[in-house]
């Protein structure tokens, strides 16, 4: 057995074994969003624009609800690395309860204030009506996604990324089938349009949650006793929030900036608004591998830091960044070569196709920076150095990227291309800063697990 395997509690986790199921799982979740976009594009470009605007807000809400799931996943990973499995189980139970409470609060807020939020987004007519419909249905049941997040994070942290992928596959198949029935009125169901897409999303998430609930109990060596759900241990809550709050703040800051950029786009017209949604649907597949390798690296880094194998953690991240950037370049070049056919999958409007193709052509500037960022930020969080990513993110995103975007869009008239360039500048600046931080090894003093004896050994699959 290798040193890394021993440090990993004897399970021999490798980046490849962790990453390929995560890659497929993220692909399936992205396909779910792409399926909505493609099917709603048959209804109208206005329907696509409306759902895109709402999803921008919903995604920020999901990130807020990931305060607990992100923090708990890292804390649990470090305790598993230290072979303290009973404490890992207690933290998992506490995290599930906290995320349920947070999810219900967010869902309630969206039901009460959702229409008011949309009314401030410079939306009009049919786009606004579609947006309100989608917000009321999906937003009202967003607490289900909060539970999915925490269950999926914990299952992956225990090393069962393949099982999590299978759940994503089932949810995706169910979602597409329900979209077919409810959006267009097939199989005896009424034609519901945007409302049908929303109902489909809620039902498929509900089924996925039930499967994740069952699966978590199958993969845990020390299962969660009922009392763990109701035991609010101050020490564990502080550790979860120590990572979770900075992680969520960094992500919320990023997507809040994306929402401001979205607001800029509303002044460019409905074609630019639709083009942004289509371009994002394509771009997400370019950085897909980087997202997967970042998540897989975080699991390994968390365990290695918990096991005090920090040199292995350092080398793992350097290798991961190299692979992430290299593969992203290859995928992005393919997207650039086939940019017109890809844009044509979503719309036959030649103006929208031209805008999308232009944005994809310059995406190589953005995606190379993002590829490094996704790995380095995840690694720093997993090592316990989450606050640094927040401070640097605020400086880069809010103080640099937003003003730059305004200049490029409204003063230099670069349109959607200006927004892409502003985002690229942010990704590259943060990538350089995070790389310097990782090389400095300041993260080595941020471990969350205090010295102590292990309570059990880690069992094999």
Determine the Cα–Cα distance for residues 420 and 415; give it in Å rounded to an integer.
9
Buried b (16+ CB within 10 A) or exposed e, 300-309: bbbbbbbbbb
Q: Which long-range contacts (CB under 8 A, 24 or more apart) does 25-29 make?
A: 25/161, 25/164, 25/165, 25/168, 26/288, 26/291, 26/292, 26/295, 27/285, 27/288, 28/165, 28/168, 28/169, 28/171, 28/172, 29/168, 29/172
Question: What is the gyration radius of the CA atoms in the chain, in angstroms?
Answer: 22
DSSP 193: T
198-225 pLDDT per residue, tens: 999 999 999 999 999 888 877 777 677 7
Q: 77 with 3: CB under 8 angstroms? A: no
Residue indicated by tokens 């980087």: 290
Flag whether pLDDT at 3 surpasses 60.
Answer: no
The residues, any chain, with a CB within 8 Å of residue 101's CB and separated by 6 or more, are none
**Mind listing the pLDDT tens digit for each residue in 292-334?**
899 889 989 988 988 889 899 999 999 999 999 999 999 999 9
Q: What is the mean pLDDT of residues 445-450?
A: 79
> What DSSP letter does each residue of 360-399 carry, written as one string?
HHTHHHHHHHHHHHHHHHHHHHHTT-HHHHHHHHIIIIII
- Does residue 431 carry a pLDDT above 50? yes
166 to 161, 171, 405: CA distances (angstroms): 9, 9, 40
Q: What global pTM score does this model have?
A: 0.75
The yes-or-no verdict on residue 9 having pLDDT over 70 is no
457 pLDDT higher than 50: no
Q: Is residue 13 pLDDT above 70, yes or no?
A: no
46-50-55-61 Cα dihedral, nearest 10 degrees: 170
pLDDT single digits (tens) 364-413: 889 999 999 999 999 999 898 988 999 999 999 999 999 999 999 999 99
Average pLDDT, the chain: 85
Geometric angle at alpha carbon 273, from 36 and 415, rounded to 5° = 145
Q: What percent of the chain has pLDDT over 90?
A: 34
Using 50, 70 and 90 to split pLDDT, how confident is the model at 1? very low
The CB-side HSE value for 296 (13 A sphere, CA atoms) comes to 29
Q: Is the confidence at residue 2, as pLDDT, over 50?
A: no
Confidence of residue 59 (pLDDT cuts 50, 70, 90): confident
Q: What pLDDT, on a 0 to 100 scale, did the predictor assign at position 364? A: 87
Decide if pLDDT at 419 tops 60: yes
Report helix, strand or coil for 318: helix
pLDDT at 460 over 70: no
Phi, psi of 345 (to 5 degrees): -65, -25
pLDDT at 241 over 60: yes
In the predicted structure, residue 4 carries a pLDDT above the cut 70: no
């Amino acid at each position: 057995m290798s040193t890394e395997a021993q440090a990993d509690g004897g399970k021999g986790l490798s980046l490849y074994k962790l990453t390929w199921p995560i890659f497929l799982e993220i692909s399936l979740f992205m396909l779910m969003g792409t399926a909505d976009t493609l099917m709603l594009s048959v209804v109208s470009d206005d329907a696509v624009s409306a759902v895109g605007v709402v999803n921008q807000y919903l995604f920020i809400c999901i990130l807020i609800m990931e305060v607990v799931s992100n923090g708990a996943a890292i804390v649990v990973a470090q305790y598993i690395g230290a072979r303290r499995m009973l404490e890992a189980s207690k933290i998992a139970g506490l995290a599930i309860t906290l995320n349920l409470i947070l999810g219900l609060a967010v869902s309630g807020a969206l039901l009460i204030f959702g229409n008011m939020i949309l009314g401030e987004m410079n939306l009009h007519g049919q786009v606004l009506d579609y947006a309100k419909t989608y917000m009321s249905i999906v937003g009202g049941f967003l607490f289900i996604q909060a539970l999915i997040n925490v269950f999926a994070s914990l299952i992956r942290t225990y090393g069962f990324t393949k099982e999590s992928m299978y759940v994503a596959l089932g949810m995706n198949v169910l979602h597409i089938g329900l979209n077919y029935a409810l959006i267009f009125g097939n199989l005896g169901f009424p034609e519901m349009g945007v409302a049908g897409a929303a109902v489909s999303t809620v039902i498929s998430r509900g089924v996925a949650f039930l499967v994740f609930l069952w699966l978590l109990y199958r993969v845990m060596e020390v299962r969660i006793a009922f009392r763990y759900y109701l035991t609010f241990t101050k020490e564990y809550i502080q550790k979860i929030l120590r990572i979770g709050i900075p992680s969520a703040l960094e992500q919320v800051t990023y997507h809040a900036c994306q929402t401001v950029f979205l607001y800029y786009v509303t002044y460019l017209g409905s074609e630019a608004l639709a083009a942004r949604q289509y371009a994002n649907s394509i771009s997400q597949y370019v950085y897909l591998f980087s997202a997967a390798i970042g998540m897989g690296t975080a699991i390994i880094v968390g365990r290695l830091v918990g096991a005090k194998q920090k040199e292995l953690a350092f080398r793992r991240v350097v290798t991961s960044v190299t692979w992430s950037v290299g593969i992203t370049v290859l995928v992005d070049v393919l997207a650039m070569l086939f940019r017109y056919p890809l844009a044509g999958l979503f719309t036959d409007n030649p103006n929208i196709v031209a805008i999308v193709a232009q944005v994809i052509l310059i995406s190589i500037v953005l995606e190379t920076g993002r590829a490094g960022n996704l790995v380095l930020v995840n690694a720093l969080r997993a090592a316990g150095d989450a606050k640094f990513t927040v401070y640097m993110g605020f400086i880069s995103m809010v103080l640099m990227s937003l003003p730059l975007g305004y200049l490029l869009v409204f003063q230099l008239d670069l349109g959607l291309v200006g927004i892409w360039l502003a985002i690229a500048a942010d990704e590259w600046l943060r990538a350089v800063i995070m790389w310097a931080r990782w090389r400095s090894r300041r993260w080595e003093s941020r471990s969350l697990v205090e010295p102590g004896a292990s309570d059990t050994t880690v069992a094999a699959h």
